[in-house]
Amino acid sequence: MSEIADRGQKTAFQVRKAFQNSPSIEWSGSAGAVYPAVRRLVAAGLLDAVAQDDKRATKHLFLTPRGRAALKAWSRDCLRSVSVGIDPFRLRSGIWLNSGDLRDESFIARLRAALEERLAAEIEDQKSEDAVEAIRIELNIRLLRMRIEWLDEAIEAAAP
Amino acid sequence: MSEIADRGQKTAFQVRKAFQNSPSIEWSGSAGAVYPAVRRLVAAGLLDAVAQDDKRATKHLFLTPRGRAALKAWSRDCLRSVSVGIDPFRLRSGIWLNSGDLRDESFIARLRAALEERLAAEIEDQKSEDAVEAIRIELNIRLLRMRIEWLDEAIEAAAP
DNA sequence: TTACTCATGTAACAAGTTACATGATTTA
DNA sequence: TAAATCATGTAACTTGTTACATGAGTAA
């Protein structure tokens, strides 16, 4: 819904593409997720699907007034907003420290390289994307820099 | 599996409790998730369930060698580790900026209060928890501080 | 002895995944 | 004209959710 609200009329297919292009590997944007989700949102009166007059059966999606209200309520849910969510780095951090991974030169090198690579990719993306996406990328860049900082300190502390 | 590996013998019930007490609202630790998951992991040869000799049918869980190998592979997956995951704050940030929410004094106050409250709760928790959990909390504290910093700058930038 | 916690589990439902299926339009 | 892309959708399967059900041990 955020995708549709921010960028105006879109097809379910374009929503799929947006998810597939996003850095998140947690939501793949599969057809089997998007089309049923759109159907449910239309049934719930949160989305309007306007059939276009072409032979591709294209449908443009719009938020209904109730849809806009629901999106606003979701975005202004402060308790949810400040929750950890699912942080793959944080989830593994305890294991790294506990298992001595942070004294393994080869693992450290791979992890830091992965962080730097991700950071470079995000900085590159930030140039090309629109304003809404640029904000998300900015927060992701800060997250990655925080992780790098933490990693360096944790390695220092774990050193023999 | 991480829960079992880090803290030794545990029952499925104790794993449930750990999830219920964790700050994550993304995984509730419901019985309908935990017990079937344990059954699948045992069937896959990653966990051993050792029945205790009491009338509660208590089963202590252990990682098999294959289980330890699988957990290690998961924890050392660098690409996954550096991915965004699901960040409820980041997901909403674009909407806040786009909709003028960041010029709404009352919303800003609520959001900042929620951040400060979460931060205080994490700092409090850090004292009582074990070393493995303390690391995760440390990363969460840094995440919250980063968000507060970003919010202040974003409000400044959005000011009329 | 009543209420709480420990402990295991199932049933109905929700919502994601991959893989498959179809057809229109555009581009090399 | 062949391949890629746009566009919609379904089917089988996985794994989460809430709610329900059962029973043992412990503390007020």
Residue with tokens 């998140």: A24
Query: Quick one: B106 and B147 in the same domain?
Result: yes
Question: Which of A90, A101, A113 lies nearest to residue B136, judging by beta carbons?
Answer: A90
pLDDT of the residue at B95: 94
- From A64, A81, A98, the end of a domain falls on A81
Positions of chain D reached by protein Cβ under 7 A = 6-12, 15-21, 23-25
Per-residue pLDDT tens over the stretch A57-81: 899 999 999 999 999 999 999 999 9
Alpha carbons B21 and B3: distance in angstroms, whole number: 13
What one-character-per-residue DSSP string does A30-57 give? -HHHHHHHHHHHHHTTSEEEEE-SSTT-
Name, in order, each residue with C-beta under 8 angstroms of B4's C-beta and a sequence gap of 6 or more: B10, B15, B47, B61, B62, B63
Cβ of A93 within 8 Å of Cβ of B143? The answer is: no
Query: Quick one: B67 and B112 in the same domain?
Result: no
Nucleotide nearest to A37 (CA to C1'): C15
Using CA atoms, how far residue A56 sits from A50, A142, B25, in Å, is 13, 42, 41
pLDDT of the residue at B83: 94
The CA-based diameter of chain B, rounded to the nearest angstrom, is 70
What number of other Cβ atoms are within 10 A of residue A71's Cβ? 20
Cβ of A97 within 8 Å of Cβ of B135? The answer is: yes
Confidence band (pLDDT; 50, 70, 90) for A28? very high
Question: Could you tell me the residue range of the domain that residue A117 belongs to?
Answer: 88-158
Q: How far is CA B9 from the centre of its chain?
A: 21
- From A28, A48, A81, the end of a domain falls on A81
Query: Quick one: B12 and B71 in the same domain?
Result: yes
Protein residue ranges contacting nucleic strand C, Cβ under 7 Å = A 27-33, 36-37, 40, 54-56; B 11-14, 16-17, 31-32, 35-36, 38-39, 56-59
| Range in A51-55, A117-121, B107-111 with the lowest mean pLDDT | A51-55
Confidence band (pLDDT; 50, 70, 90) for B19? very high
Cβ of B78 within 8 Å of Cβ of A114? The answer is: yes
pLDDT of the residue at A119: 97
pLDDT of the residue at B61: 96
pTM for the complete prediction?
Answer: 0.94
What is the percent of chain B where pLDDT is above 70? 100
Per-residue pLDDT tens over the stretch B95-120: 999 999 999 999 999 999 999 999 99
Query: Quick one: A117 and A154 in the same domain?
Result: yes
**Three-state secondary structure call for residue B9:** coil
